[in-house]
Amino acid sequence: MTNRTLISQTPTLVGQTVVLQGWIASKRDHGKVTFIDLRDRSGLVQCVGFKMMGELTTESVVSLTGLVKARPEKLVNLEILTGSIEIEVQSYELLNKTAELPISIDTDGKEISEEPRLKYRYLDLRRARLQKIMRMRSEFIRAIRDSLYGKDFVEIETPMLTKSTKEGARDFLVPSRFQPGKFYALPQSPQQYKQLLMTAGFERYFQVARCIRDEDLRADRGFEFTQLDLEISFASQQEVMDLVEETVKTAVKKVGGKLKTESFPVVNYQDAISKYGADRFDLRTEEDKANGILAFAWVVNFPFFKKVDKKDIAEVRDGKSGWTFTHNPFSAPLPENEVDHLAHKNIENIVTAQYDLVCNGYEVGGGSIRAHKPELLKATFEIMGYSEEQIEDGVGHMLKAFKLGTPPHGGIALGLDRLIMLLAGEESLKETIAFPMTSSGRTAVMDGPSEAAKEQLDELSLMVKPQVKE
Ligand code: ASP
């Protein structure tokens, strides 16, 4: 092990010999003298070599030993943190020689098309803009974790191989090798497991959860995304909203985000529709926009049910009666609508105990107080036209748990990718995800999905239908 010094420490080590390791960000060759800017995770420093380093290519990885020297006053560069010094290189070792780069990484990258950026994502991520976003993402999640740990939350993982979770999207299926012809579903969210953790008595759960939904791709959306998922027992709607608001504010401020208002306005769904024409609205002024302000608001009092959109396959499947849920089938109706809900009456006027968090025109989170009494959850599925058997098959396990000591509970999921996007002032979710999928649904760098070998298909008892070419 070499005794490595980080570049950020070098200004305090004038007169000392140090070992630095990193990438060659740039090189200027003047024949006898070669200057390189060396970069590591902590910063950038100028290194000077006399009659050496001419062979080095940019972005190569080196380990070098050199003397930290103060720069003469007129050569001090105030633009970089190490601008008061430079390194006089005594020796170096080339750890990885870099060939010509397929994409440039010294710009913000937005001039490069998606395909090469994602094919060489490991290079793309080296650019300063993406380094900053990924580090901010990590800091933001850490701030949320710290805040929730301080409030008695338990972080618990839930399964990835599971059964359909009914979030209103199409499931991703995984064939079972041991049970031919049967399939697991990847979780659209941890919804049911987190509710069962309330039955299990944890009272306060959270998870940085991966969710997978087979939805039609949009330019900025892939099949997987990350949610901050949480659930609380014995809390009113107001208490859940207050706790979430405080957690979001703390984490936003921790990473330097600026809030429009210290307290998030609460808007009725119907008012949002009549005032803004949508339930996700932007409360920022032009000046707020220019200053990178985040304008959060809550939306409440949504209708529980809506008429099925016949073009939406998942809706048609869920809403057998012609009615389907607007947000979450596991939500409770408002207490004053319980009688109608149980009687399947006035369906269009039943309001759900759902709250959405919006920010700058986007939905950044949604949650609800849940139906924790079996008859309420059952009624939801009856209203959607499910038969006894279908209800038993779909949510029988939940109905059973709700007869075995499930406390009243509610929670939320916040879209972390979206929040980071807004905090970073970016316009695409892909800029906040290390290895996002391409717009055509192929994975970054590794170019999935790919065909399965015949032996793999045999093991899974699967046959692929011949593809009809159009
Ligand atoms: N499971 C919901 C979702 O993924 C969020 C929640 O109600 O907690 O949208």
Over residues 296-338, the pLDDT tens digits come to 999 999 999 999 999 888 788 888 899 999 999 999 999 999 9
DSSP per-residue codes, 222-260 = -SEEEEEEEEEES--HHHHHHHHHHHHHHHHHHTT-EES
Is 187's pLDDT higher than 70? yes
Going from the Cα of 29 to the center of ligand 1, the distance in angstroms, rounded, reads 57
- CA dist 328 and 414 (Å) reads 14
State in Å: Cα 356 to ligand 1 middle: 10
pLDDT (0 to 100) of residue 2: 65
Cα(411) to ligand 1 centroid in Å equals 8
**Could you tell me if the CB of 189 is within 6 A of ligand 1?**
yes
Distance of CA 195 from the midpoint of ligand 1 (Å): 11
pLDDT score at 110 = 97
Identify the three-state secondary structure at position 458.
helix
Where are the domain boundaries for CATH 3.30.930.10 in the chain?
Answer: 119-432
Would you say the CB of residue 328 lies under 6 angstroms from ligand 1?
yes
Pocket flag, ligand 1, residue 368 (CB < 6 Å) = yes
Q: Identify which of 213, 227, 326, 398 to mutate to test ligand 1's pocket (most ligand atoms within 8 A of the CB).
A: 227
Kindly report the protein residue whose alpha carbon is nearest to atom 4 of ligand 1: 189
1 has pLDDT over 60: no
Q: Which residue has the tokens 């103060």?
A: 70
DSSP state of 370: B
Q: Residue 242, Cβ neighbours under 10 Å: how many?
A: 14
Task: State residue 470's pLDDT score.
Answer: 65
Q: What is the mean pLDDT of residues 341-369?
A: 98
Residues 399-458 pLDDT 10s: 999 999 999 999 999 999 999 999 999 999 999 999 999 999 999 999 899 999 999 999
The distance from CA 333 to its chain's CA centroid, rounded to whole angstroms, is 29
CATH code at 119-432: 3.30.930.10
* pLDDT of 166 above 80: no
**pLDDT above 90 as % of the chain:** 92
How high is the pLDDT of residue 146?
98
Instruction: Specify the residue for token string 């094919």.
Output: 119
Q: Is 324 in the pocket of ligand 1 (CB under 6 A)?
A: no
367 lines ligand 1 (CB under 6 A): yes
pLDDT, tens only, 200-233: 999 999 999 999 999 888 767 789 999 999 999 9
Mean pLDDT (the chain) is 96
| Type and span of the H or E element at 61 | strand 61-70
Q: How far is the CA of 413 from the centre of ligand 1 (A)?
A: 5
Indicate if the pLDDT at residue 469 is higher than 90: no
Assess whether the C-beta atom of 226 lies below 6 angstroms from ligand 1.
no
- Ligand 1 centroid from CA 328, angstroms: 7
At 307, list the tokens. Answer: 């008429």
Evaluate if residue 38 carries a pLDDT over 80: yes
Index of the ligand 1 atom closest to the CA of residue 231? 8
Ligand 1 centroid to 297 CA: how many Å? 18
Residues 6+ apart with CB under 8 A from 194: 158, 205, 207, 229, 230, 231, 411
Q: Which atom of ligand 1 lies closest to the CA of 165?
A: 1
State yes or no: pLDDT of 165 exceeds 80. Answer: no
- Ligand 1 atom 7: residue of nearest CA: 367
411 lines ligand 1 (CB under 6 A): yes
- Centre of ligand 1 to C-alpha 118, Å, is 29
pLDDT for the residue numbered 315: 85
Each residue's pLDDT tens digit, 7-30: 999 999 999 999 999 999 999 999
Q: Give the confidence band of 195 by pLDDT, cuts at 50, 70, 90.
A: very high
Domain with CATH 2.40.50.140 in the chain: 7-96
Q: What are the pLDDT digits (tens) for 374-409?
A: 999 999 999 999 999 999 999 999 999 999 999 999
**pLDDT of residue 353 exceeding 80:** yes
Q: What is 7-96's CATH superfamily? A: Nucleic acid-binding proteins (2.40.50.140)
CB-ligand 1 contact for 415 (6 Å cutoff): no
Per cent of the chain over pLDDT 70 is 99
